[in-house]
Amino acid sequence: MADVLVVAEVAEGKLKKTTHSAVTFAQKAAATIGGSFSILVIGDGAGKAAAEAQGLGAAKLLVVEDASLKNYLAERYAPTVAAVAKGYAVVVGTASAYGKDLLPRVAARLGAGYASDITEVLADGGTLKYKRPMFAGNAFGICSISTPIQVVSVRQSAFAAAEPTGGQSAVETVAYAGPSKAAERVEFVSFDQVKSARPELTEARVVVSGGRALKEKFNQVLDPLADVLGAAVGASRAACDAGYAPSDLQVGQTGKIVAPQLYFAIGISGAIQHLAGMKGSKVIVAINKDADAPIFQVADYGLVADLFATVPELVKGIQAAKG
């Protein structure tokens, strides 16, 4: 069989948008290997979430619900995902924290090869090759996987969210395969959610990111700008390490990868690890008081200025321009 299985991501009975990037991959990969794709929706409220996956062109929506799936643990999810995956040629999820945690475990269970964070799928005479960034985005490697089942995670910013194509997918309920032995020794304790009314970093049209320079004034300075732009807020590692911004906002090689229409780097020097997470943005604006900061090498518009004076001025300017 040459079919593709998408592992959906579910949170609180909703399908997470990350899923749609994996679906876009699946549409392309299935076309290359001449098969169909199905979506596995596993987790608390999976049935409800699966309804949101209707119309994306999947052959089947496979739904797994069980009380013990309430709080995600790889040790509980991997056996079921692997059991379902056995009928497929390619298993794909998105390289979110969830996908990066779960998919390698699934691959190991299947004895399958795993390629992470891929940005392109290439058709090479019916076989699949994958392009993936390495060395903090300073190189791309083209790889292939030799096992009968291949497991991959895709970079969300590199695969546009799948649009509805219409049609209904058949819904099948799949039994929960039970936890692995390892699950007996892991306990979910808590999830401290950073609540924000702003758009998700990885999905926002505009991202306003701040660096170490903002210090304790991180929110005070950036919030008005993010508000006027309807933007998501991001941060450099240094700003997260210092506690000026929650770690979940880190943009970079080892943080979130973003590619919005418009990206502001404010008081960020532009280390390669930061660039790795944002240089796919369409338009980049940098504000930095150091004219030689490396961020200016990738910025479309650079402004050498003190950010504390400039950002409030910019907020007023944008307000005026938007009328």
Partner 1 sequence: MKILVPLKRVADPDNANKVKIPASGEKIDTAGLEWKPNPFDEYALEAALRLTENGTQPKVRAGEVVVVTFGPKETETTLRAALATGADRAIRVDATDDKLDGDLVARALRALVEKEKPDVVLMGKQAVDGDSNQVGQILAELLDWPMATFAATIREEAGALLVGREVDGGVSTLRVKLPAVVTVDLRIVAPTSVYSLKTPQTHKYNDGVRFAALPAIMAAKKKPLAEVKLADLASDQATKVSYHGFAAPPARKAGIKVKDVGELVSKLKNEAKVL
Does 321 bind partner 1 (CB under 8 A)? Our answer is yes
Task: Determine the Cα–Cα distance for residues 225 and 219; give it in Å rounded to an integer.
Answer: 10
First to last CA, the chain: 57
Residues of this chain, 175-214, that bind ligand FAD according to CB under 6 A: 211-213
In the numeric block, the tokens 């390289």 are attached to 95
Contact 214, 266 (CB under 8 A): yes
**CA-based nearest residue to 222, from 238, 205, 206, 234:** 234
- Of partner 1, ligand FAD, none, which one does residue 142 interact with (CB within 5 to 8 Å by kind)? partner 1
Q: Least distance in Å: CB of 170 to partner 1?
A: 30
- Of partner 1, ligand FAD, none, which one does residue 3 interact with (CB within 5 to 8 Å by kind)? none
Closest CB to partner 1 among residues 101, 172: 101
Residues of this chain, 173-232, that bind partner 1 according to CB under 8 A: 180-183, 185-194, 206
User: Which class for 260: exposed (0-12), middle (13-18), buried (19 or more C-beta within 10 A)?
Assistant: buried
Residues of this chain, 29-58, that bind partner 1 according to CB under 8 A: none
One-letter amino acid at 100 equals: K
Of 14, 68, 87, 138, the residue at the interface with partner 1 (CB under 8 A) is 138
Of 47, 55, 104, 199, the residue at the interface with partner 1 (CB under 8 A) is 104
C-alpha distances (whole Å) from 4 to each of 88, 90, 214 are 6, 5, 46
Closest CB to partner 1 among residues 162, 238: 238
- Of ligand FAD, partner 1, none, which one does residue 215 interact with (CB within 5 to 8 Å by kind)? none
CB neighbour list of residue 219: distance below 8 Å, 6 or more residues apart: none
Does 149 bind ligand FAD (CB under 6 A)? Our answer is no
Q: Least distance in Å: CB of 130 to partner 1?
A: 9
Contact 188, 53 (CB under 8 A): no
Of 34, 67, 126, 146, the residue at the interface with partner 1 (CB under 8 A) is 146
Residues of this chain, 237-296, that bind partner 1 according to CB under 8 A: 237, 240-241, 246-248, 253-254, 261-262, 271-273, 279, 282-285, 291, 296
In the numeric block, the tokens 């929110």 are attached to 219
Of 254, 261, 297, 319, the residue at the interface with ligand FAD (CB under 6 A) is 254
C-alpha distances (whole Å) from 308 to each of 71, 148, 219, 226, 242 are 42, 56, 12, 15, 19
Q: How large is the greatest C-alpha to C-alpha distance in the chain, in angstroms? A: 62
Does 301 bind partner 1 (CB under 8 A)? Our answer is yes
Of 8, 121, 268, 314, the residue at the interface with ligand FAD (CB under 6 A) is 268
Task: Determine the Cα–Cα distance for residues 32 and 58; give it in Å rounded to an integer.
Answer: 16
User: Which class for 255: exposed (0-12), middle (13-18), buried (19 or more C-beta within 10 A)?
Assistant: buried
CB neighbour list of residue 267: distance below 8 Å, 6 or more residues apart: 210, 211, 212, 213, 214, 287, 288, 307
Residues of this chain, 291-310, that bind ligand FAD according to CB under 6 A: 293, 306-308
Task: Determine the Cα–Cα distance for residues 323 and 312; give it in Å rounded to an integer.
Answer: 17
Q: Least distance in Å: CB of 61 to partner 1?
A: 23
Does 239 bind ligand FAD (CB under 6 A)? Our answer is yes
Q: Give the x-and-dash track for 56-85 against partner 1 (CB under 8 A).
A: -----------------xxx--x-------
Of 112, 154, 221, 232, the residue at the interface with partner 1 (CB under 8 A) is 112
One-letter amino acid at 197 equals: A
> Where along the sequence are the contacts to ligand FAD (CB under 6 A)?
211-213, 236-239, 250-255, 267-269, 271, 273-274, 277, 288-290, 293, 306-308
